[in-house]
Structure 1
């Protein structure tokens, strides 16, 4: 009933908006002198060149800095509300690890070695790992969400799409912007950003810094380690950016950029949905409360340096070079069972480094545009975790399975994509990318009958005996593999008139092959995943004040990489094998509407519908017979419906200009895990309001923002280590306890932001 209601409501909104536009057109004909509201023109770089959103034949959403500010959006995850069929959420266990899915394609496991399905880019620099990818909004011009495989221009691991974080270029005079935000849960954010011309109109120094603090939404009710910070779901982030931009001539632009983020928010404790059978602790009263036997501290450090050079050779040719290096380091504590006992604790370290170099050559004339380039990437992705199962093996003094290793990759790619105007109305797009990648992997995996941690001093009094561990944790995998892939794109566009374009396209993307980072012995690498995508769409504007963009799509996702659990001799044998065992398909619709109803009132709506499922998941029984168990697999983190409807209303008073806005964001039911899903989130909606003020002198601004007004509780992640029974109960799983854990999105919040610009 709720699903049908939201679909009908969105359809009614679209129809009523279209009818209103016709009435507006009629009114204009009767009163030609009366000025009509006009929609703002949106520029994007989805095809690696600056274009109007309405001229780009792909499904792309652009959220400007003004929209981000007026909606009180402070982190990239909130952008999901404005992009259909998109999931951007904080992952389990930490506040900085990103869960990103677009059209049912993403990354189910953030462990090193696994590859993302949605590419994250900061000023054309690819972020290879989800740790630290929950980016705070700092000195941004816009965020673009590209839906569907971007395998031609953006390469591997963009089989679901890409998220582009675009910062501002500097110009004009010196600027200094100060912002302070206060809110409930002791929310305190302070931001400073500005620019200074070292040489007028040529050399600029830019800077931005933020301190982002908030108390927890809940607490760790008990902790096995004394004198720990008990805040749960808190925030403690410091972020900064320095930029040097040089424009010696009108044809040459250079930018050197450095950024660093340090997140010392606590580890995120989960909510026990079932009472523990090994402790007497009850299910907590609040979904944000937890128990833990690990330290509550957590850390995510990310750092990047990039150099961009653009040379406008002439009116037709442009050359661009982007050189970048990034690194991240994250020691983290994840208590899977969330009790005060060491039932199933997993302290871990993630350590990543990457270097990339891209050369672009673009050609642009009236009838032909070409984007081409060469790309090199080298990434070292390493990690270490200890799965501590002390309570289940007390007779042996405890048990820890330690897994550590690296998946290092090196890849080369060449690409070209061009669009040619066949006639005044018809154009053809052809693109191709060739990628060759080599991956080297090492895995150490073994068991020690003791409780061990990644480093000495991880818990008070703990000493790590490296000699004992080296003797007990063998090297089980040391291998290398090389893959190559040709990914094409073909599209046809029809410009019906100056304000309407229709397009159809086929594109292919691939996610890198890899080795199993949890391997218990020698096993071959898995091949890349492949997505074939077919799209048809329309981009249109009516009367200058109504924008309607729609896309229908179908995608075929082959060779999906999944882990199968193999039987062992006892509970200590956590044997897993990674293989290309799954095939899924998805089809859907995406609709985006903007309507300038009057000079003061703007309405918008988005709708995403998707039908996604596994067609085949193949494995083998103990006798080697092929079996299909696709009925136990589900496409996770993918609601069948996403919708957003909202408004902005501008009005002027004696004390300044005001912008009132609001939106209602709806997500249909979705499952949280791929295999044997035990937790599903029911459909829910988030209601948000904002009131923004701009002072008459242009210096002062203020914004009051209320989010999740109805205080909805909704799941964004889970750990499930139980076995359901026929009578609706559960049998204990790994660790010997009822471990069914939920992680939740933000509760109702209210904040006031005040800014001053010099």
Structure 2
């Protein structure tokens, strides 16, 4: 983003996991190679790219000749053709590589801080624009903001986080982009445009080090022979510190919140002629990170063994635990004996662009393929407690009294180390062909066809770690199966060698097709009308597996057996300690015959039209007034892996009305204002519900009948002098649920109370966002420069559930960043001193409850702590 870009960007940085809420425990693990867990949650499938921000230290490129006397123009491709950003009748924010370098805009969290209406939860790896985005990362669901990697659709947020070494610019298109972009752009679209091979030999090396990481990256570029050019880039990130101090450090559980990554990218470009070109890009990434979802900041509950409502699958991890929770007084300190680790492997991405001018018609083909495997381990119990030995809550077994053994089994043990293993195995490819008029005129047109295919497997397991010496491990490895209705024991219950108390998986195949077209016509001088239409068809076929096993030695409805196993002799019923059998409740809960995991297939398809109707008026050379009515569409989906009662949701529809003004009142001042109103139908919301006939919970999908979102966005850039620029933006976004299908119980809060969520805000939508930045250029000698940059960002509170309960509310927060850049263009040398989150404030980007099984403890996820470091760059 150069001076005058609609997006006013500054500095910041953070990281990301998916919330998997099934069974009787709620866990939020990482997923999605998109951004670290991605907390990523675990969210759809990312295409892994080099990380920026805290993932990769700030860097700065060679400042181009710099003149702040006037607002410079920026060319974008938001409408599939090159246009000045001030002439595009769309609310769009753009970040160019040169300005990202000067200001230190690195990560997707930075973009979110300084793009009106955009919010990002690093802990859950979810983007939202104007209150519309992704509310779950469960397989079978889709994001609401589409990301395009050089025209290739991806569900990965990582692409938008790549550093300026790799990316020429990033465009954020706010509002439904259902005509030209289509797939999942119901909330907006993000275009990531790579740097291409250069006409002349060029290269660069950059290295930065701070209190969290060391980042080295570089590229070589230039012609090979004839019209063939190439570019090779690489980035290596190694941890020098961590975000969280772990008071229970061991050989396998150390301080957490660190990044170790490798990224490689290669490009080939062949120019057949001035109008015909083929461009290919290959990339590969590897991760070995630690990405804790956040900190449980409530005190441990140490006097309860089976949760607030007796609905946990295993005994409470903190029972009898004598170590206080360090996060209560310092949320940057945790207590864990399980490393929250995320691993990315087998990651390969290929993108192809082919363009040609055929008799005045511009032809463009974009195709791509991505595959990756991702695995994330998460500490489900938030403690470092291990072996617990107790007789709490157990009772004598009367049937053994004649043998003098009534009390022989009252003492039991369990390893309180509960771990989640979340995995993604994804492959997908797309093809798109467009035709358009090669030369812009009074009448412009574009038509196209699009195809998408994806294979996605997502197993999630919660298991008991340890050496198998405790009662819990031995019992849960050989459970008994309980029949529905009668509670009778069913023979031949399958064993459970991994000691999993929840084991669910989803296997999904998705196919999508679309055809689209758009025209714009200048009705009279300076007055233009736009009309676009797209038809989309999506089909999903899913297979899911689900199994839950409970072991509660103090439970009242537990079979007592002397030895583990399906055919063990029953000697009683009740709280029988070490004699308590592990009970496979899968078929009992679902009222299904048989034993072991329950499986089923789901299949559905969705189709519909999305469109755009617009009118824009060029009032004068410096003012554009525009208005539009557009419809966005997102396919329905499944909730796979939990055998939910309501596993299917219908498609989402957004009818968006927008008006705006883009202006340059002075040659040194840019001022853009946009207002919008959304009619949002069938928002796809995951809500935890209690399974009928039990106290155990599961996550169901629901369509929220009707919601609305409206707001105002202001962006400005003022070049005060030739050396000083001040940029500022503000956004107001008011969201509300207008009608819901039913009343729901907030599983994150105590009590079984049905609530009407009508009137509540949409999740992850902050009402107020402010960003202010300043950039001052000091000339040193003939060509050298010192750039002084500082920024301030503020985001008001947000709820991370449809329930406006205190436990799902993340407080508002702000952040200050600063950097000093000294550059010698003639020598190709740049040196930077930087401080991100200068005052080390706590930034909240997620809030949730651990649920009833662990007595409703508060968990917050946080942005990155202060990073202070130095970077050196050398260009040749």
| TM-score tier (shorter) | 0.7 to 0.9
- Please tell me whether the aligned partners of residues 85 and 610 of structure 1 are also in contact (alpha carbons under 8 angstroms): yes
* Alignment partner of 1:427 is 2:546: no
Q: Distance in 2 between matches of 1:131 and 1:757?
A: 26
- Please tell me whether the aligned partners of residues 743 and 757 of structure 2 are also in contact (alpha carbons under 8 angstroms): no
**Larger gyration radius, structure 1 or structure 2:** 2
Task: Name the counterpart of 1:22.
Answer: none
* Alignment partner of 1:100 is 2:127: yes
Task: Name the counterpart of 2:844.
Answer: 715
- Please tell me whether the aligned partners of residues 476 and 522 of structure 1 are also in contact (alpha carbons under 8 angstroms): no
Task: Name the counterpart of 1:706.
Answer: 835
Cα distance, 1:566 vs structure 2: 4.1
Give CA-to-partner distance per residue, 1:155-183, whole Å, 9 cap, x none: 13111111221111223211110001011
Return closer, same or farther for 1:583/1:605 CA change in 2, 3 Å cut-off. same
Within 5 A, what are the aligned runs for 1:236-635?
236-268=260-292, 270-277=294-301, 278=318, 279-284=321-326, 285-301=329-345, 302-314=347-359, 316-341=360-385, 342=416, 345-363=419-437, 364-388=439-463, 397=476, 400-449=501-550, 473-520=596-643, 525-568=648-691, 573-619=696-742, 629-631=756-758, 633-635=760-762
Task: Name the counterpart of 1:660.
Answer: 788
* Alignment partner of 1:674 is 2:706: no
Q: Distance in 2 between matches of 1:392 and 1:267?
A: 31
Structure 2 counterpart SS, 1:249:
coil
Q: Distance in 2 between matches of 1:250 and 1:450?
A: 71
Q: Quick check: which one's strand share is greater?
A: 1
Give CA-to-partner distance per residue, 1:293-336, whole Å, 9 cap, x none: 4344321344211111011235x421110110012221101223
Task: Name the counterpart of 2:750.
Answer: none
Return closer, same or farther for 1:286/1:36 CA change in 2, 3 Å cut-off. closer
Q: Distance in 1 between matches of 2:472 and 2:635?
A: 38
Return closer, same or farther for 1:719/1:387 CA change in 2, 3 Å cut-off. farther
* Alignment partner of 1:203 is 2:221: no
Cα distance, 1:184 vs structure 2: 2.0
Q: Distance in 2 between matches of 1:235 and 1:274?
A: 27
Q: Distance in 2 between matches of 1:131 and 1:193?
A: 19
Structure 2 gaps of 5+ residues are 1-7, 9-66, 302-317, 386-415, 477-498, 553-584, 588-593, 746-753
Bigger drift between 372-381 and 512-521 goes to 512-521
Give CA-to-partner distance per residue, 1:95-138, whole Å, 9 cap, x none: xxx22111011112222222101111211111135588754554
Structure 2 counterpart SS, 1:54:
helix
**Relative contact order higher in (CA < 8 Å, ≥ 6 apart):** 2
Give CA-to-partner distance per residue, 1:61-94, whole Å, 9 cap, x none: 00010111112233233112221111134224xx
Q: Distance in 2 between matches of 1:469 and 1:707?
A: 49
- Please tell me whether the aligned partners of residues 72 and 703 of structure 1 are also in contact (alpha carbons under 8 angstroms): no
Task: Name the counterpart of 1:88.
Answer: 120
Return closer, same or farther for 1:750/1:293 CA change in 2, 3 Å cut-off. closer
Within 5 A, what are the aligned runs for 1:178-257?
178-185=205-212, 187-199=213-225, 202-214=227-239, 215-222=241-248, 227-257=251-281
RMSD between aligned residues? 2.9
Structure 1 counterpart SS, 2:112:
helix
Q: Distance in 1 between matches of 2:196 and 2:639?
A: 42
Q: Distance in 1 between matches of 2:159 and 2:138?
A: 13
Equivalent residue in structure 2 for 1:171, among 182, 193, 198: 198
* Alignment partner of 1:63 is 2:95: yes
Give CA-to-partner distance per residue, 1:381-410, whole Å, 9 cap, x none: 220112348999789647612110122210
Give CA-to-partner distance per residue, 1:136-158, whole Å, 9 cap, x none: 55411011111111111111311
Bigger drift between 487-496 and 524-533 goes to 524-533
Bigger drift between 50-59 and 469-478 goes to 469-478
Return closer, same or farther for 1:450/1:472 CA change in 2, 3 Å cut-off. farther
Cα distance, 1:521 vs structure 2: 5.7
Cα distance, 1:719 vs structure 2: 3.7
**How many pairs align?**
685
Q: Distance in 2 between matches of 1:60 and 1:744?
A: 28
Q: Distance in 2 between matches of 1:580 and 1:305?
A: 36
Return closer, same or farther for 1:60/1:133 CA change in 2, 3 Å cut-off. closer
Give CA-to-partner distance per residue, 1:631-668, whole Å, 9 cap, x none: 58532222111111112111211382122111111111
- Please tell me whether the aligned partners of residues 632 and 676 of structure 1 are also in contact (alpha carbons under 8 angstroms): no
* Alignment partner of 1:73 is 2:105: yes
Cα distance, 1:343 vs structure 2: 6.8
* Alignment partner of 1:690 is 2:819: yes
Structure 2 counterpart SS, 1:78:
helix
- Please tell me whether the aligned partners of residues 119 and 158 of structure 1 are also in contact (alpha carbons under 8 angstroms): yes
- Please tell me whether the aligned partners of residues 68 and 724 of structure 2 are also in contact (alpha carbons under 8 angstroms): no
Return closer, same or farther for 1:751/1:372 CA change in 2, 3 Å cut-off. farther
Bigger drift between 656-665 and 293-302 goes to 293-302
- Please tell me whether the aligned partners of residues 757 and 802 of structure 2 are also in contact (alpha carbons under 8 angstroms): no
Give CA-to-partner distance per residue, 1:345-393, whole Å, 9 cap, x none: 4221112111100101121432012222110000122201123489997
Task: Name the counterpart of 2:395.
Answer: none
TM (norm. structure 2) is 0.74
Structure 1 counterpart SS, 2:109:
helix
Q: Distance in 2 between matches of 1:367 and 1:621?
A: 54
Task: Name the counterpart of 1:24.
Answer: none
